[in-house]
Amino acid sequence: MKQMTFADAEYAGKRKQTRKELFLIEMDRVVPWKGL
């Protein structure tokens, strides 16, 4: 499974989001992945 990108998050917003998707989007916002 690849890291969800912001574009993926935007696309996910076009349809009903699952709790997992919402969680991943939230994690994307709060965790500085590029800094790891």
Residue 17 belongs to some domain of the structure: yes
One-letter-per-residue 3-state SS of the chain? CCCCCHHHHHHHCCCCCCHHHHHHHHHHHHCCHHHC
Number of domains in the chain: 1
Per-residue pLDDT tens listing for the chain (36 residues): 567 677 777 776 666 678 888 898 898 888 877 777
> Please, are residues 21 and 5 in contact by the beta-carbon 8 Å criterion?
no
Phi, psi of 2 (to 5 degrees): -85, 160
pTM (predicted TM-score)? 0.41
- Please state, in angstroms and rounded to a whole number, the distance separating the CA atoms of residues 5 and 24: 10
At residue 14, the pLDDT reads 67
Domain region containing 20? 6-35
At residue 12, the pLDDT reads 65
Residue 1 belongs to some domain of the structure: no
Residue 10 belongs to some domain of the structure: yes
Residue 11 belongs to some domain of the structure: yes
At residue 1, the pLDDT reads 58
- Please state, in angstroms and rounded to a whole number, the distance separating the CA atoms of residues 17 and 23: 10
